[in-house]
Structure 1
Amino acid sequence: MTNTAGNQLFHYSPITERPAINWPGGARVAVYVGLNIEHFLLDRPSTSIWPGTAELVPDALNYGWRDYGVRVGIWRTIKTLDRYGIRASALLNSAAAEHYPQIVKAGMDRNWAWLAHGRTNSILHSGMSRDEERRVLTEIVDTITAATGRHPLGWMGPGLTETFNTPSLLAELGLTYTLDWTNDDQPYDLEVPGLISVPYSVELNDLLLFARGLSGPEFVRLVQDQYEQLRADSEHGGRVMALALHPFVIGQPFRAKYLDQALRYLAEQPDSWLTTSDEIAEHYRSTR
């Protein structure tokens, strides 16, 4: 393996030159749902559906769109996940853990995996000194641990953001993997001892897909195409398929039946391992 110039976090490793990964039960593709559970601030610009009002304070149009997710959309999404026995990998803002205890309880009742997803998705995880970041990360991890009863093992920054110190600080705090580096179909070791990268997707991601005008039937076809290709690729070693969901997007009423169709397809595949990012990381760490 060779190191990309200036990159001290991970080495270049072509997928064609690695030992095969074998998933439990002979599965070919490990599938997990990354369910974003986020809190947004009323007085800061954030993810928006209509840029025309995004800089206003308050921005009722865009804030209301986002807030629909935790008030309504997530409960519709949970019903669909339950229908197919799928446990979410919950990407949890620590502020969401404080503001939405009913959602946390629902996830605890279903044995979700809990990942630290920053404090709020209105503020990116950047621009901090090492000491300041250590304090911020400690507060995030402690808040999520207190709310869920579990110390998070995984991390994804708001907007997939990190500093150069984030990986080593995550390892220092007892986290074992990050989703931020979406550059692979398999887990791989980072240069920070004790920390690995687990695949996530900015392509198979409802927020970006539907923003481009994707229809519900096209979403289902895309999920199927992704799985079929990863399964074909898995002839040379197991692959990971991450489905990234945001309740204010996929939780809209007119999209519900298409999420149902997509998850039904995945649940029907005899060679899929419907699991969580925690379990993918642990299996990789224990068998490599």
Structure 2
Amino acid sequence: MTLYDYSPLPERPRLTWPDGKRVAFYVGLNIEHFLPDQPSTSIWPLDLKPDPLNHGWREYGARVGIWRTVDILDRYDVRASVLLNSDVAEHNPQIIKAGVERDWSWLAHGSTNSTLHTGYEPDDERRILTEITDTIETATGKRPKGWMGPALTETHNTPQMLSELGYRYVLDWTNDDQPYHLNVPGMLSVPYTVELNDLGIFLRGLTGPDFLQMVKDQYDVLRDESAHTGRVMALALHPFVIGQAFRAKYLDLALEYISAQPDVWMTTSDAIAEHYAAS
């Protein structure tokens, strides 16, 4: 059995969003923990132990970038959909406290982004997923409903095991502008993006003005296409990237543009999944 079936968008029933909105917009905010002695997300491919060069770049997000990002999200009343490494609960509890105060949605994102979610035997994976889920629930007060693996990784068993733990959707399969049902009872795929994603955009050498124009263009095209059926627009952010001072101003301008649009539903991935499942 394949995880999902092919479904051409023009052949689907009409998808509507609350209050007649045309584009459901959410911010996928990656709040991650990195181990200093493992390569992980790097911009200098060096085998250093410890690795202050790359680790310091990533750690900036937890120490500074997240707070700059939070101020911008607050300015436009954006509730983040947080892709949370469970190890953050131990290492950066102040970030979780700030998110709880703002009623963010919490999704599981593995334990640390220094370890991919691959290669597990079923019993080990079930134990690891349970530990991640319980840790996030204890730290945030809410049991996560959504999952995105570190670097969008899963095993063949992950969706089924997540369903058994009470999850309702995954973000790993970035192949659509609408949610869709997986061939796992009760499980959905909700759109995420590796394209409108600060990590990919800026590490390719593009600039803040490029980022702003891409956000505007993405929304404008999806709005025009959604005249007959709704679309989802995800914006993927990493505080160690977008939280740099010279980039953050363009996030501010991007959210100013999106939040001013009359056809946008400013929401969370949890709410998108819930609405789609009920419709």
Q: TM-score by structure 2 length?
A: 0.99
Q: How far apart, CA to CA, are the structure 2 residues paired with 1:137 and 1:260?
A: 35
Give the aligned partner of residue 138 of structure 1: 130
**Deviation at residue 49 of structure 1 after TM alignment:** 1.6
Give the aligned partner of residue 3 of structure 1: none
1:75 pairs, out of 67, 71, 81, with 67
Q: How far apart, CA to CA, are the structure 1 residues paired with 2:5 and 2:72?
A: 39
Deviation digits for residues 60-88 of structure 1, max 9, x if unmatched? Answer: 11000000000000000000000000000
Give the secondary-structure state (helix, strand or coil) at the position aligned to 1:45.
Answer: coil
1:18 pairs, out of 7, 12, 19, with 12
Structure 2 unaligned runs (5+)? none
Give the aligned partner of residue 57 of structure 2: 65
Give the aligned partner of residue 36 of structure 1: 30
**Deviation at residue 236 of structure 1 after TM alignment:** 2.2
Structure 1 unaligned runs (5+)? 1-6
Give the secondary-structure state (helix, strand or coil) at the position aligned to 1:260.
Answer: helix
**4+ long deviations beyond 2 Å:** none
2:150 pairs, out of 158, 166, 182, with 158
Matched, 1:174 2:174: no
Give the secondary-structure state (helix, strand or coil) at the position aligned to 1:35.
Answer: strand
Give the secondary-structure state (helix, strand or coil) at the position aligned to 2:36.
Answer: coil
Q: How far apart, CA to CA, are the structure 1 residues paired with 2:49 and 2:217?
A: 41
Q: How far apart, CA to CA, are the structure 1 residues paired with 2:116 and 2:159?
A: 16
Give the aligned partner of residue 40 of structure 2: 46
Identity %: 68
What RMSD, in angstroms, separates the aligned Cα atoms of the two structures?
A: 0.6
Q: How far apart, CA to CA, are the structure 2 residues paired with 1:19 and 1:96?
A: 40
Q: TM-score by structure 1 length?
A: 0.96
Q: How far apart, CA to CA, are the structure 2 residues paired with 1:11 and 1:236?
A: 22
Give the secondary-structure state (helix, strand or coil) at the position aligned to 1:280.
Answer: helix
Matched, 1:123 2:131: no
Give the secondary-structure state (helix, strand or coil) at the position aligned to 2:29.
Answer: strand
Matched, 1:8 2:11: no
Deviation digits for residues 222-248 of structure 1, max 9, x if unmatched? Answer: 000000111111112100000000000
Amino acid in structure 2 at the alignment position of 1:170: L
* Count of residue pairs brought into register by the alignment: 279
Q: How far apart, CA to CA, are the structure 2 residues paired with 1:275 and 1:155?
A: 17
Matched, 1:266 2:258: yes
